[in-house]
Homo-oligomer: A and B are copies of this chain.
Amino acid sequence: MNGNRFGRLFQLTTYGESHGDAMGVVVSGCPAGVELSAEDIQRDLDRRKPGQSMITTSRGEPDEVRIQSGLQDGYTTGTPLGMVIENKDARSGKYEPFVTAPRPSHGDFTYSAKFGTRNWGGGGRSSARETVNWVAAGAVAKRVLAASDHDVQIKAHVSQMGDIEAPEVSFEEMLEHSEENEVRCAHPETAEAMRDLADEYQSAGDSIGGAIYFECRGVPRGLGAPRFDGMPSRLATAMYAIPAVNDFEYGIGREARTTAGSEYTEDWEFDDDGDPTPVGNDHGGIQGGITTGQPIYGEVTWHPPVSIPKSQRTVDWETGEEKDIQVVGRHDPVLPPRAVPVVEAMLYCTVLDFMLLGGRINPDRIDDRPGEYDTDYHPRSPENVDD
């Protein structure tokens, strides 16, 4: 409701501005008993980090996470994890011209219109820097799922940049190739072409849009609540929270509008276990808002970054003057490459939340099954006592 909370049982609450002291995220509802270290989180933060390649902003943030609570001897305790990532390389001066003269297509004007003020350095609270918090939380969710009895795997890659569209790739190809190249496209040749395109736009002082394809494997059937809390609504909420997203589709998505029912419907057959399973997966793993057990997949569209060196026109509401501005900060020419870990993080959080709500993972602790609580109320590793 206040804009900084996501999830129901597995819940993140975030704070921080691009050029503020620190970014922070509180993870509530993480089951106890999961081995977790700062390194587990750092790995994913590094994938999102600025400055990782020529096509990302050169801002030099180490993005080092400190876990300030929620652990005992390296295991989660079931109580909130407080994580803080300090901002180290904020240079707000370049944003001074925009204090009362909003940059085109940013949140500058709307934040000020809503709040009558805003933290203006580096885009403040509306900056994509916020997603560092989400990636930290997503890494926790990934660890929890890995510690459970379930084999949930989530991967995304850049499927389109401008007019360059990657051919369909398998989940295995995504796992193998998407982190090999700077654009995070799992199809190596396409990745090269995308890389060139990004360079081209960057050199021209311009930027370009793109898209990410994602897939979630191993999500058990029967997850998702009817109607307003169906899997699609929650996925959409998660994806639309990511800055600059303009479209979210799942299954065959937009193509569904030109598809006939006889073509769309998928017959049922028995799988090897004798369970009903649909022939095909145009439905994207979801029917009636609830999972079928087939992979969940979809695609998300980003508009181009709006921080571009090209001269743009704005007005200064303080002086009443029109003026030309250039956004000469340090910016990415295309968003999806760095958004891949963000998409994955939000998917991990969303899927885990449904697993907890649906009783697939015990919300209190992961090392026990309901009904067997009473045999084990031992704190872990009592030998490791330090003063």
Contact = CB atoms under 8 A, between A and B. Distances in A.
Interface string A364-380: 11011111011011111
A130 B227 contact: yes
Given A4-B228, A117-B379, A359-B364, A256 B209 contact: yes
Nearest to A97: B385
A224 B374 CA distance: 16
Nearest to A321: B270
Could you say how many copies of this chain the assembly holds?
Answer: 4
B357 A257 contact: no
B374 A21 contact: no
A105 B1 contact: no
Nearest to A20: B69
B318 A382 contact: yes
Interface in A226-285: 226-230, 232-237, 239-241, 243, 245-254, 256-270, 273-276, 278-279, 283-284
A60 B188 CA distance: 57
B21 A24 contact: no
Interface string A18-33: 0011111010110011
A249 B252 contact: no
B371 A274 contact: no
A216 B259 CA distance: 28
A290 to B, nearest CB: 4
B362 A262 contact: no
Interface stretch (A139-147, A176-184, A299-307): A299-307
Contacts of A293: 113
A261 B379 contact: no
Contacts of A310: 261-262
B209 A99 contact: no
Contact of A230 (B116, B241, B373): B241
Interface centre among A246, A248, A315 (most CB of B within 10 A): A246
A77 interface: yes
Nearest to A82: B15
A137 to B, nearest CB: 12
A364 B116 CA distance: 8
Contact of A104 (B104, B109, B254, B265): B265
A289 B241 CA distance: 8
Given A14-B227, A318-B378, A377-B317, A304 B5 contact: no
A80 B115 CA distance: 12
B264 A304 contact: yes
Contacts of A193: none
Given A1-B8, A117-B78, A251 B246 contact: yes
A190 interface: no
Given A5-B28, A77-B117, 12 more contacts: A3-B28, A3-B289, A24-B24, A69-B119, A100-B379, A107-B289, A110-B221, A162-B258, A222-B377, A276-B315, A360-B370, A362-B370
12 contacts: A1-B225, A93-B386, A110-B221, A116-B367, A116-B368, A163-B258, A201-B260, A222-B364, A241-B289, A246-B254, A246-B256, A257-B302
